[in-house]
Every structure is written in structure tokens, then in C-alpha cells.
Amino acid sequence: MNTLVFGISLAALLSTTSLLIVLFRVSPLLAPTQAVFAFFLSVFMSVTTVCTLLFMGLWKYIPHHTWDTGKLTSISLRQGIFLGTATSILLLFHLLGLLTWWIGVMIYGVFVLVELALEH
């Protein structure tokens, strides 16, 4: 388990670093297709890995369920992927000029309802 947490922590560090590099060094005016794709990919990876670590810590220190380590990791990874996907869709809607506050609530609400529908 320590190597898995170390791997996820290393991925979180590298993806957050890549997000910062994309934000500070890549100009969307010079290479718009590569910059936008790199931005969305780095946002997705950063949100996914950081939220996976946060959910692992949350579910470990709030012993509401009697999950083993593998189940805890898989549920936290799924929740992190859902949150990363919802955040990427939210940013895409903002980029396209379609985002309002209730659409943002609905995007996150869909992923919360999908997570609630999945059986742990």
C-alpha cells in the first residue's frame, strides 16, 4: 500500500507541476491547439490525483465503512476521476461561453448522483 500511495503522490506532484508549467509558460496565442489540450489534460490529471489522495485520507480517518485498503483505494480513485472529469467539463463549458452557475451545479450533481448510484 505504501508504494501505491507513493505512486499516487508522485503523480499528483508531477501533474500539478505540469499544470503550473502550462499556466505560466505555454501561450495559447502561439499554439492554441496544443496549449488548450495540454491545459485540459493537466487539469484533469491534477484534480484526479489530488482528490484521490484527499478522498483516501477522508475515508481512512472517517471510519464509516469497514473497507479494506484495496476497496478504499478503488473507491477514492473512482471519485477522483469523477471529480476530475466534472471539473474538465466545467472548464470546457466556460471556454465555450456556456457556463452559468446552475449548469455548473448540474454538472457536479450528475457525477454525485452517478457516484451515489454505484454500489460500494
State residue 51 phi and psi, 5-degree precision: -70, -30
Going 55 to 59 to 65 to 66, the CA torsion angle's sign is: positive
Q: pTM (2 decimals)?
A: 0.89
Q: Would you list the domain boundaries of the chain?
A: 2-117
User: What is the C-alpha separation between 38 and 99, in angstroms, rounded?
Assistant: 21
pLDDT of residue 1: 57
89 pLDDT tier (thresholds 50, 70, 90): very high
Residue 20 has pLDDT above 70, yes or no: yes
